[in-house]
Amino acid sequence: MPSVDIRTLILLLGLGNLLLFLALASFRFVQADARSSVTRTWTLSKLLQGLAWGLLWLRGEIPPFWSIEVGNTLLLGGVALEALAAWRFATGRTPRWLVVLVAAAVLARYPLNGLGNADAAQRVVVASLLVAGLFGVTGWAVLWKRVERTPLQFVVGGCTLLLAGVVMLRGLVAAWPGQGFALFDANFIQVATFLALFLLMLVNGVGVVLLDTERSGERLNTLATRDSLTGVSNHRDFQRRLRVMLASASRNRYPLTLMAVDLDHFKQVNDTYGHPVGDAVLHSFAQWCEAAVRESDVVGRVGGEEFMVGMNGASLEEATAIAERLRAAVAASRVAVNPRESVEVTVSIGLATLTDSDDVATLVARADAALYRAKRNGRNRVEIDGQVSLPTGQRWREPMSELPVDPVARPAAGP
């Protein structure tokens, strides 16, 4: 195979990681979100790796303590920080056991190197196996620990795991009797390892920025479509999704029922107990509502204390049963104000089923009209557009035992 200078590859690794450190530091600096996944930890890992490769490149030109002990320790430390940053990126936290594990991997090189009496081949084996293990943790975190997986994650995580395999193979080859080699020895596995390290450095550096941008986009989409207090769809997103549901129902000729829900006397709750308790009531109601409706239904907050639920494929009878279940569940629940006091909540509900002449505006108007009629008729009831009012609870079809509800909900800690 063509001759490749290992020392030159090591120099390129050092310069590349230092440039990535500067790029990531600048990228992190311009991020408005301090919780950006391009954390200080990930950026610092590139600095340590850049310095480590620089010291390794200078081996033979500087004292062995700096090029061997400090260089290898910085390299392991940098890769360990990258593993911690990847885990935090994927899960949002850094468990203590992982910190202990990566710290043990960094410190393990000292007793393990002692087994070979500071032999160069022994140092290659130890460094390779420890670095491979840390890269394995990084790849595993990126690829499998994050719930929402994207094609970009598969690329970055897969490349990292592939590199871990190459580096581990280097260690195993160096450990094979009669096959040991030193840092600058040029052979197939050495060239493959350092080329893989160089390519991963590029994929990793670009991938980290792209993954962070991808997550920022997801966060912005959540802010644009979800109500920050309750977590359900906001008014704009609900209107968009309702238009899609209406078009689909009209095209496929299946029923669509819209439920309009309003918390009764909500202003009195705010005036009596304050806005934090009012926020807790809204947050709790949103949870009760999502528990009562079907998984395919869309819940949205369309006003201060007004919510709507789009129920695709729900007949009027099925929608009425769901609405009565929600009304009864809310009436049976309480929101705690303090350890000795709780507030009762009831809701009024209006239902309207899609007709051939309906668009979004008319369907919403008919559901609202039914809701206002429920309020006029005494609140804490369900009314159906175009039908004669019945006593509260008469349309009840399902026992309360089918809806598990905490009878006393605590105020939410925050939006």
Read off the pLDDT of residues 194-243 as tens digits, 9 standing for 90 and up. Answer: 999 998 888 877 777 777 777 777 777 777 888 889 989 999 999 999 99
Cα dihedral angle (84, 86, 90, 92), rounded to 10 degrees?
40
Q: Which domain holds residue 180?
A: 6-225
User: Which comes out higher in pLDDT, residue 247 or 1?
Assistant: 247
Of 204, 225, 246, the position where a domain reaches its end is: 225
Strand partners, 384: 351
Among 28-37, 176-185, 357-366, 373-382, the range scoring the smallest mean pLDDT is 28-37
pLDDT of residue 29: 55
pLDDT of residue 395: 44
Of 162, 196, 225, the position where a domain reaches its end is: 225
The answer to whether residue 71 sits within a structural domain is: yes
The answer to whether residue 278 sits within a structural domain is: yes
The answer to whether residue 1 sits within a structural domain is: no
Q: State whether 220 and 72 are in the same domain.
A: yes
Q: State whether 220 and 271 are in the same domain.
A: no
The answer to whether residue 93 sits within a structural domain is: yes
Read off the pLDDT of residues 237-273 as tens digits, 9 standing for 90 and up. Answer: 999 999 999 999 999 888 999 999 999 999 999 888 8
pLDDT of residue 144: 83
Stated pTM of the model? 0.62
pLDDT of residue 394: 45
Cβ neighbours of 101 (radius 10 Å): 16
Read off the pLDDT of residues 12-65 as tens digits, 9 standing for 90 and up. Answer: 999 999 998 988 788 665 554 545 545 678 889 999 999 999 999 999 899 989
Q: State whether 273 and 386 are in the same domain.
A: yes
The answer to whether residue 81 sits within a structural domain is: yes
Which CATH number fits the domain that encloses residue 356?
Answer: 3.30.70.270
Q: State whether 240 and 215 are in the same domain.
A: no
Q: State whether 239 and 218 are in the same domain.
A: no
Burial class (CB in 10 A: 0-12, 13-18, 19+), 265: middle
Q: Give the mean pLDDT of the chain.
A: 84
The answer to whether residue 415 sits within a structural domain is: no
Residues belonging to the active site: 305
Q: State whether 215 and 250 are in the same domain.
A: no
Q: State whether 199 and 54 are in the same domain.
A: yes
Which CATH number fits the domain that encloses residue 96?
Answer: 1.20.1070
Q: State whether 217 and 268 are in the same domain.
A: no
DSSP 11-76: HHHHHHHHHHHHHHHHHHHH-S-TT-SS-HHHHHHHHHHHHHHHHHHTBTTB-HIIIIIIHHHHHH
The token pair that represents 9 in the structure block = 């590859």
Domain count, the chain: 2
Q: State whether 380 and 264 are in the same domain.
A: yes
Look at residue 93 and tell me whether its pLDDT is greater than 80.
Answer: yes
The answer to whether residue 230 sits within a structural domain is: no
Q: State whether 131 and 246 are in the same domain.
A: no
Per-residue burial over 230-263, b if 16 or more Cβ lie within 10 Å, else e, is: bbbbbeebbbebbeebbeebeeeeeebbbbbbbb
Q: State whether 18 and 130 are in the same domain.
A: yes
The answer to whether residue 55 sits within a structural domain is: yes
Look at residue 399 and tell me whether its pLDDT is greater than 50.
Answer: no
The token pair that represents 396 in the structure block = 């009840």
pLDDT of residue 413: 42
Of 202, 225, 248, the position where a domain reaches its end is: 225
Burial class (CB in 10 A: 0-12, 13-18, 19+), 338: exposed
Q: State whether 26 and 172 are in the same domain.
A: yes
Cβ neighbours of 360 (radius 10 Å): 15
pLDDT of residue 145: 78
